Amino acid sequence: MENKTKAAVKGKKNKKPILSSSAKRTLVIVSFILVLVISVGGFFAYIANVPAMLLTGAEITLTPEGGSPKVIERIKVNELKYLYSSALSQLSQYQMLPADFSIEMEEQPIPEGDRLYNSENPGKTYREYIYEHACLTLLQSILIEKQARNDKDFKPEVVEFSVRDSIQALRDAVKTNTEIYGHQMTADQYLTRLYGSGITVTSFASFLERELIADEYMQYLLQYKFMPTPEELRAEIDEMGNKTELVTFHYYFFRANFEEGATEEQKAAAKAEARSKADELSGRATDPVSFRNVSAELSDDSEAESFMDGKDPTYAEKYSINTIKGFGEEAANFFYSPDRVEGDKAVFDVEAGSIAVYYLSRQLDEERTFSYRSIRLHYSGEFGTDGKILETEKEKTNLEAAEIMAQVSDEASFALLAKQKSEDSSLRMAGGLVTGVPELSLFSDDMTLQINMDKANWLTDPDRKPGDMTVLKADEYVEIYFFKEYLPAWQSEVRKSIMSERYDEWMLGIEAQGELSFKIKYGNIDFATY
């Protein structure tokens, strides 16, 4: 027995280990190095803002009617931060944030008395509100962008140039910042200061591209898909009949005043009182002056100020059929009745009360409206001792304008050149197109600027015809104009109405794809922010 035990022990001693001592030491060292590399790499990835570039900041979901929700877009944290900055600027501009709003207020709950959005959520912070606003503005843009990329007839012509110019403007801003303040920084660092972590020149360009494709596609639809042909415009005019005319009249609205939560009986009583006042006004008014005076007499105290100093809030001048429709179908039928004459009166009941009206006239708006395209080139180069651009430098820009004009063969070629060359960013996406400008508004511009006077005189010249071009000069730029057309204002309005209806129909088709929603991943945003 003893011998067997010794033999067993002896056998164990002779068995070779799986790893030698040196191999174990090597494995430990390699493991340590790997952990160190991963840790250091992760640290540098973090400080290099990689999480903001990779992590999802918001998911956009499309839920078809009767179908299952599907994530159609994942917005990275860095793009959401860019959108957040844009939303913050927009909300501040439209005074939808407190006047003293600051970064420190972002995490504070919105006061109950100042609930800006989604009052059902009392715990919402300003930060959440701004992020939600950013996502809401993005929803429609995403659908339009997807439509644009799937439309084989649409070829972006301005996106590349606009992105390029925006990046150049960014680099110029960085250079100027360095020259003024002496702070050396890269364009990426400048973007991080502006918008937050993870935004590089490359990602910034991709954000701009998404926005610009949607914008250019909408201009493409408006100019080439929704714009009616002359034949379509004439057919619509014939169908509308006298509804192309504008209506001038007096009216006063008597609101049915009742508290929130009022019973049906209380609501009915309030509406009856409003109707009674409207009937009294209609019965007592014999001319425009008496209509105004009786309206003032019967109005609530809260409306008294609108009648002070002889003001007449009842006067409505040149309302179109689209505006008249806001009064209801019954009112539209009254105003456009063929036998309507000055002094006719009526009362109409609407959901919130009653309206008394006094008819004056109906007529076509014959004022001329003008449509044109333009390309703006700014003077640049050396300045003289008087602080103005040297004439020799201006001549270079004038020569460039002449070269551009020589390339124009028709309106389409001018539009393309405007997209590629114009330095007027507000019109570049539209190919420099401006439509339906009333003649009076042309001459209401600052006429102390010679270029405004020259522009108005050139456009309104009786001999002007489609395809005419000219170059006009200002102190800081030169502008090339291409004359498209002029129309009476009433025809211009009919065309706008057709385009608006076509746009609405198109949007309904887009929205019919399903309900859009978003989910913001605040955990990822917080992790990617330092």
As a whole number of angstroms, the distance between CA 50 and CA 197 comes to 9
Provide the token pair at 94. 């439209």
pLDDT confidence of residue 40: 45
Per-residue pLDDT of 5-64, as tens digits, reads 444 444 455 555 555 666 556 655 555 555 545 444 444 444 446 788 889 999 999 999
Of the two residues 483 and 142, the one the predictor is more confident about is 483
- In this structure, whether the domain defined by 368-488 belongs to CATH 3.40.190.10 is answered with no
Mean pLDDT of the chain: 87
pLDDT confidence of residue 8: 46
Region label for 494, one of left (φ > 0), alpha (ψ between -120 and 50) or beta (otherwise): alpha
pLDDT confidence of residue 18: 57
Task: Determine whether 429 is exposed, middle or buried from the number of CB atoms within 10 Å of its CB (0-12, 13-18, 19+).
Answer: buried
The answer to which of 1-5, 69-73, 185-189, 197-201 has the lowest mean pLDDT is 1-5
Per-residue pLDDT of 90-136, as tens digits, reads 888 888 887 777 766 777 777 655 555 444 556 688 888 899 999 99
Per-residue pLDDT of 75-99, as tens digits, reads 999 999 999 999 988 888 888 887 7
Averaged pLDDT, 347-353: 93
As a whole number of angstroms, the distance between CA 101 and CA 87 comes to 14
Cβ atoms of 196 and 85 within 8 Å: the answer is: yes
Adjacent-strand bridge partners of 319: 247
Cβ atoms of 488 and 364 within 8 Å: the answer is: yes
Q: Which of 245, 213, 343 lies closest to 286 in space, CA to CA?
A: 343
Model pTM score: 0.78
As a whole number of angstroms, the distance between CA 225 and CA 246 comes to 28
| Residue 445 φ then ψ, to 5° | -65, 170
Q: Which of 526, 410, 368, 401 lies closest to 472 in space, CA to CA?
A: 401
Cβ atoms of 369 and 354 within 8 Å: the answer is: no
As a whole number of angstroms, the distance between CA 31 and CA 23 comes to 12
pLDDT confidence of residue 126: 86
Per-residue pLDDT of 274-303, as tens digits, reads 999 999 999 999 999 999 999 999 998 888
pLDDT confidence of residue 7: 47
pLDDT confidence of residue 260: 82
DSSP assigned state of 228: P
pLDDT confidence of residue 29: 57
Architecture of domain 246-363: Roll (3.10)
Cβ atoms of 244 and 364 within 8 Å: the answer is: yes
The answer to which of 16-30, 138-152, 186-200 has the lowest mean pLDDT is 16-30
Cβ atoms of 521 and 56 within 8 Å: the answer is: yes
